[in-house]
Amino acid sequence: MATPNPVTQKRLYRNVFICMKCCARLRTDPIRVKEKKVRCRKCGYKGLRPKNRTIKTKG
């Protein structure tokens, strides 16, 4: 029944961001995050990172 659809998963994760201050999860458009129009609901911090873990500071 619950087959994990990679496309859906990707889309789900793409729109999910984590507050870098309080680690709250937010679902919003990446475009808005890029334009810094999104703030954390919990603490109001503007530093958000995508839930997608491929982006890790390397080097």
40 makes contact with Zn ion (CB under 5 A): yes
- Least Å from the CB of residue 41 to Zn ion: 7
Tell whether residue 42 is a contact of Zn ion (CB under 5 A): yes
The count of chain residues that interact with Zn ion, using the rule CB under 5 A, is 8
Residue choice 13, 21, 46, 50 for contact with Zn ion (CB under 5 A): 21
Output the CA–CA distances (angstroms, integers) from residue 40 to 28, 43, 45, in the order listed. Answer: 11, 6, 5
Q: Round to whole Å and give the CA distance between 2 and 23.
A: 27
Q: Residue 51: name the closest of 21, 20, 13 by CA.
A: 13
The residues binding Zn ion (CB under 5 A) are 19, 21-22, 24, 40, 42-43, 45
